[in-house]
Amino acid sequence: MSTATAILDAPKRAFVRPARRGLWAAIFFVAPAVVLLVAIYVLPAIVLVGFSLTDYRLGALATRFVGLGNFLHAFEDPVFLRAAVNTLLYAVIVIPAGVFLALGVALLVHGRGKSRAFWEVAYFLPVTATLVAMATVWQFLLHPSLGPVNAAIGALGFEPVSFLATPALLIPTMAAIGVWQIVGFNMVLFLAGLTAIPRDLYEAARLDGAKSPIDRFLIVTWPMLGPTTMFVVVTTSISAFKAFETVAVLTHGRGGSETLLYDLYLEGFEYSNTGYAAALTLLFLVIVLVLSIGQTLHLDRRVHYR
């Protein structure tokens, strides 16, 4: 009886051993990525949460547990509240302009023939440039007396405008620079979406009575670009809330032009308020996470996947 059982169990053991070897091989290959993930993301997040609950200052020998005190202070801090409003205003300008301008440019470039490659490179160049260097260039372009922008305004008979010295114009000016920088990247994404649309759909729409380009855009192009548009909106929103370089180079936060990331930078590195900066960082992460998830869930219901 035992011999028969051993004979029957032999194939099972022969199957289990390779499966175990495969499992250990999988663990061996996955382990480095898991270790890096924990070291780069998980542990810093845990440390960040720990710092946010203390009044730790960079270089201090002692610290005190304050619980949610840093978070409560943030909602009473006029600088943080102003930075949040500025960031929201910046995002309200950049998100729709960055999405719809990129879509318009992509439609125009997509219809080009031999010149398509030139226009693709021309619009994508701002993406490859360092925004810090480009902010310096914009500082010259917008100079009230030396810049070509005000020279053109003066040629039209208007008074020069101090774009970087007028508090009411600071956020819109930086938002315009942000749109200029992000349109090229979004254009490439929309071009990829346009290329993937089957040409047969346009022919079918034309036969069904969609004679004008606008009709074909509304019936075919816009619905088929649903997944691409959702991705562009989410990534543009995240980029808008991460506005930092233009503020750091052009205004240094003067005139009440702070954004959330620039306020984090000031608290953490200029004022050495590490605990408070950690709390602001967590609030920033929560805002971006809620925004991204909310947009994805809302837009996903309207997307037509092919």
Q: pLDDT value at position 190?
A: 94
Percentages of the chain per state (helix, strand, coil), in multiples of 5: 75, 0, 25
Q: pLDDT value at position 8?
A: 45
Which runs of consecutive H residues, i.e. helices, occur in 111-147?
116-128, 131-141
Any bridge partners for residue 65, and if so which?
Answer: 54
Q: pLDDT value at position 87?
A: 94
CATH class of 69-300: mainly alpha
The structural domains of the chain, with segments of one domain joined by +, span 1-52, 69-300
Q: pLDDT value at position 11?
A: 54
**Residue 174: which of 88, 90, 262, 84 has the closest Cα?**
90
Q: pLDDT value at position 130?
A: 80
SS3 235: helix
Average pLDDT of adjacent 10-residue blocks, the chain of 306 residues: 51 57 80 90 90 86 87 92 94 94 92 82 85 83 87 87 87 92 92 87 79 82 88 92 88 86 90 90 91 83 63
